Structure 1
Amino acid sequence: MTTQEVRLCGLLLQEHFGEVVEKVAIHLLRSGVLNLRALVHETKLPLDLVKKSLCVLVQHGMCTFGPGRRGPGGPVEYQMNSENILHMLRYPRYIYTAKSLYGDTGELIVEEILQRGQMTMSTTVSTVADRLTHNMPEGQSMDYSEVVTAFSRLVETHFLQRCPPMLSAEPSSSGDANSNPPPAVTKPSEPESHPDCYKLPYINITGKGKRRRSDEVEAHKSAAKKAKTDSSEFGDEGIYWKVNFERFHLHFRDQTIISAVACKLDQTSSEIVRTMLRMSEVTTPANAAFTQALSANEIFRSLPSNYNIARQILDQYLTLLVDDPMEFVGKTGDSGGGMFVVNLHRALANLGRATLESVVQERFGSRSARIFRLLLRKRHLEQKQVEDFAMIPAKEAKDMLYTLLSENLVQLQEIPKTPDHAPSRTFYLYTVNQLPTARLLLQHCYKTVGNLIERRQYETKENKRLLEKSQRIEAILASLQATEAEAEQLTEVEEMITAPERQQLESLRHHINKLDSSENQVDETIFLLESYINSTKSK
């Protein structure tokens, strides 16, 4: 792992789980693989805190464990999964996607499972039903069956999957006997190794959600007690569910391709590509270069009913998509009008290339972007050729090339004519290696997100007193409104925050929202670059 990735992982862990978990995880990330005794010794933390930290990390799929180098009889060793830590950046996006696809119920299901790492179906259903009931008018309640339906749909479309069965690890006599996580925690593994990961248990969950008690402590205790008993009561004890990040990422990839087609061509073209992706979203493997091949007739029958496109018009659109230089859609064979596929890897490569070009344009101007695009297209050019093709004066072109070279966005390749490598008898060719440049930009993005998180934490810390005062006043107002207090009392409480303080609060909220928005936008770039880099690995 790079320094920027470790730094970002540390910031995310500290924000979500606190400093102790962060210290344990970062030490594991830097060390690779360690057993419990070594981890306690090197971190100098109490044994109990290290065990609890490991349980939290394993519960959220951020740490794996298994027999060590000494074999089954030796101590259990732990290893971090950095990818799942970085996925915390996208938690708001996962929740929003579930809401847009399956409504408020789907949103709360995904939110609850993300918060706890993994949950049984019965516990999830009862918790979500209680939360929805609490927000309903008095006398109404959410039926469990509606939550079960949303949960089932999330599983059917592979957004949720079963956690694999608990893998036992032999305890050793070297202080690791109690280091195994509790039975509720499972060792993460790939979905392919668990064939029943999308199979719903045959259980009958009936009932309705209940409202929270006024006493929050009692409510919390009863919820925890209920979580322990519900699983055994409904018969799904030991069957835990987690969010399938890979499935969400495939959905994000498809949406990115659809948006790119809409920007490049038009809305109808994007709807055709959306239909093709939807028809093969579950059957196409995650690392496939193409979607499942579809005939024009199949695409025509699957188009939304509100799109009144004639078959002849559809054929014209398909021809236009196949002939487009971006090559989002490809054609295989000509029999029966041909079979059509979405070129997933080609689309990601073109989107990654467009991202690199836009970064160069934003940082160095349109002329530098013209040189960068020229080198991408022509592969290798001498300085004089760059000046001629780009139609830029020699001095300016030289400065721009050296600036790009110093930023590692452009590489210089030497081709000697003679074995002595004499400069006068050597060709100096400028080129752009798209993959290493994408990796470089990805590290810059990690650094940017880390800076944004640190800035947000600084803003919050600097205004801590004002924020606490605002929260106290909001709590007082809420309690007064619940007791139907008079308007004069409410006004008096509201005036406890002065006009300058109110203005400062508004300014702080504006800055925090701007930082959050920037973080989400940078994460979109991170996702696109990661998808492109991963697609090149699977070739």
Structure 2
Amino acid sequence: MADADTARLCAEIVRSVFGPLTATVASVLLTHGRLGFPQLLRFSRLKPRTVRAAILILVQHNLLWHAQSDDEGEAFEMNIDECLMRLRYGRYVWLAERLYGKSGAEIVQLVLDHGKLRPPDIIAQASVYDPIKAPAVLSQTLHKLVEEGYLKPSTVLSHFSPRDKLIQYEAEEKRKISGFPTAREVREAKEVAVARLKREEEEAEQIGMRKAVEEELEVDDKVYFRVNCERFNIHIRNKLIETTACERFNECAGAVLRATLKATEFKQRKLSDVRSDPTSFASVAMHLPDDVDLAAGLVLQSSKKQPTMTLIKEYLGILASADNPTAAGRAASFVSLGGSRVQVEFEIIARRLQRRVLEAVARERHGDEGVRIIRLLSDTGMMDEKQISKIGMMAPKDVRPLLSAMSAESLVSLQEVPKSADRNPTRMFYLWYVDLQKASAVQVRNLYKTLYNIAARRQAEQDEPLLKAVLEKRQRTDVSQDEERLLTRNERELLAEWEKKREKLTVLEMRVEEAVFILHDLGTFKINDD
């Protein structure tokens, strides 16, 4: 069951793609949580035939989980994360085109439009305009997409909630414990359950390829494939890291970091990886473009032309903060060096990006003083009001209302430490600190609310009667072929104004979605935060 802002955003996403009836079913599930078919009928007030059709649509597009139990029978639950991923589908198609050309973009677009498809259906629909040459190219591209994990098999396991499976496996492991379980035994049971679920998922994803002749593999025509969002999210993360390095240092440092990421990109499968696999300096040099002038980004003492490998080592030393071997230097690094091997530190970079987003929110709402408090508490830890006032060089009368306002938005949190056993409020220490996990969760909900408002604003602008009439007129075949002659000047100006508004809303939506990606998708490391 989602919170109100997330539920509204997911319902709006479903409505914009599948229409109001399917959105009604999705909204009921988002609002009430898991429901059986009779309850779904009662709350939605739709006909059984309509609800069944909506369920089929949502299942086909991987937006609905099944749950089968002896007590409740079959129940349905919305897959919220998969629904929110639809905001990035345009970027996934763009990434597929950059990686595999037009044929890759066509295949990914087709699978996204249908939810899941078998290889023969993909080839048949994508080659409808060129049935002679296209099938061979598409088959080759499809093989690469499946082999490298951009398309994954849609199995029976993927339609069941992983949370249900995890609870079931934990219960099975706890039943094996004799007597009253200790905390260590409970923790071990959870670890075994998580490992079992992960192993099942990995085994299920291996069915997409089968042996054709000896060691060669081919795509299994009987398996339905869906888009692996996490594989595309890795490219979004890597581009974000590269952009951050360019902003911090220069374009040459960003190019070296991009080459380091590309050297291990084929092994990067999960966003939750703490760091990349180690790679050599020679591999980094191999993935560096030939037209990059590394010497332009450094101030060298010698006027002689330095070897490329020497310049790469210099940049990697800068990215690793080698000149500052302290905790602060490590927290500001992008990579870590070990002999002749280099690794990109995903967790360190993610925490730094999350903190930057929270500081931006604090600056927008509470000015530079709010940012000062966030940085002070993040670097120092728990502090009371007097210490914040003294070290932050702020007047006590300004600190208290500012802390109260920031606490209301969960940017800072309060910890009570009793002086005595009776826990008398007058005899307590009140310490302020930054709870990164809580602050990020609250800001993600606010960002979901912003995304819903953007979508609602776009729809309201589009439904304005005069603009709606012009848009419907432009969809006519004769008008779309000759807009300059068949549309009046006022209609063309109205369309141009609408295009500008839509572009601004799209840019804003992309910026907000990037902040969501940093706080939510890269927030998997916060569970390990001390």
Measured against the shorter chain, the TM-score band is 0.7 to 0.9
Flag the 1:409–1:56 CA change in 2: closer, same or farther, 3 A.
same
- The amino acid of 2:204's aligned partner reads H
Which residue pairs with 1:208 in the alignment?
none
Flag the 1:301–1:46 CA change in 2: closer, same or farther, 3 A.
same
Q: Distance in 1 between matches of 2:75 and 2:29?
A: 10
Aligned residues, how many?
Answer: 464
Which residue pairs with 1:29 in the alignment?
30
**Percentage identity across paired residues of the two chains:** 25
Stretch of structure 1 that moved more, 276-285 or 247-256 = 276-285
Q: Distance in 2 between matches of 1:34 and 1:201?
A: 42
Which residue pairs with 2:407 in the alignment?
405
Which residue pairs with 1:508 in the alignment?
498
Q: Distance in 2 between matches of 1:371 and 1:317?
A: 33
Report the alpha carbon displacement of residue 116 of structure 1 after superposing the two structures with TM. Answer: 0.8
Flag the 1:470–1:320 CA change in 2: closer, same or farther, 3 A.
closer
CA deviation vs aligned residue, 1:284-339 (integer Å, no higher than 9, x gap): 4513212112233443444344447622222222222222542321234xxxx243
Does residue 328 in structure 1 map to residue 334 in structure 2? Answer: yes
- The amino acid of 1:522's aligned partner reads V
Q: How is 1:417-436 mapped onto 2 (pairs within 5 angstroms)?
A: 417-421=419-423, 425-436=427-438
Report the alpha carbon displacement of residue 168 of structure 1 after superposing the two structures with TM. Answer: 11
Stretch of structure 1 that moved more, 146-155 or 452-461 = 146-155
Which residue pairs with 2:96 in the alignment?
98
- Counterpart among 252, 266, 290 of residue 268 in structure 1: 252
Which residue pairs with 1:10 in the alignment?
11
CA deviation vs aligned residue, 1:5-39 (integer Å, no higher than 9, x gap): 11111111111111221222232334443333443
**Coordinate RMSD, CA, aligned:** 3.2
**Unpaired segments of 5 or more residues in structure 2?**
161-198, 294-306, 322-328
Does residue 192 in structure 1 map to residue 192 in structure 2? Answer: no
- The amino acid of 1:294's aligned partner reads T
Does residue 389 in structure 1 map to residue 391 in structure 2? Answer: yes
Does residue 295 in structure 1 map to residue 301 in structure 2? Answer: no
Aligned-partner SS, 2:476? helix
Q: Distance in 2 between matches of 1:197 and 1:263?
A: 43
CA deviation vs aligned residue, 1:362-409 (integer Å, no higher than 9, x gap): 222122211221111111222232223222333333332232123221
- The amino acid of 1:288's aligned partner reads D
- The amino acid of 2:17's aligned partner reads H
Which residue pairs with 2:183 in the alignment?
none
Is 2:334–2:349's contact at 8 Å kept on the other side of the alignment?
A: yes
Is 1:414–1:426's contact at 8 Å kept on the other side of the alignment?
A: yes
- The amino acid of 1:529's aligned partner reads L
Aligned-partner SS, 1:194? helix
- The amino acid of 2:443's aligned partner reads L
Q: Distance in 2 between matches of 1:47 and 1:449?
A: 32
Is 1:473–1:493's contact at 8 Å kept on the other side of the alignment?
A: no
Report the alpha carbon displacement of residue 41 of structure 1 after superposing the two structures with TM. Answer: 4.0
- The amino acid of 2:467's aligned partner reads L
* Greater length-normalized contact order (CA 8 Å, ≥ 6 residues apart): 1
Report the alpha carbon displacement of residue 257 of structure 1 after superposing the two structures with TM. Answer: 1.4
Which residue pairs with 2:81 in the alignment?
83
Flag the 1:200–1:363 CA change in 2: closer, same or farther, 3 A.
farther
Report the alpha carbon displacement of residue 444 of structure 1 after superposing the two structures with TM. Answer: 0.4
Report the alpha carbon displacement of residue 235 of structure 1 after superposing the two structures with TM. Answer: 11
Q: Distance in 1 between matches of 2:507 and 2:120?
A: 35
Flag the 1:462–1:285 CA change in 2: closer, same or farther, 3 A.
closer
**Unpaired segments of 5 or more residues in structure 1?**
134-139, 170-188, 204-233, 482-489
- Counterpart among 151, 155, 158 of residue 164 in structure 1: 155
Q: Distance in 1 between matches of 2:36 and 2:6?
A: 23
Is 2:143–2:219's contact at 8 Å kept on the other side of the alignment?
A: no
Flag the 1:509–1:168 CA change in 2: closer, same or farther, 3 A.
closer
Q: How is 1:148-159 mapped onto 2 (pairs within 5 angstroms)?
A: 148-159=139-150
Q: Distance in 2 between matches of 1:167 and 1:441?
A: 29
Is 2:473–2:479's contact at 8 Å kept on the other side of the alignment?
A: no
Q: Distance in 1 between matches of 2:159 and 2:310?
A: 60
Q: Distance in 2 between matches of 1:30 and 1:397?
A: 39
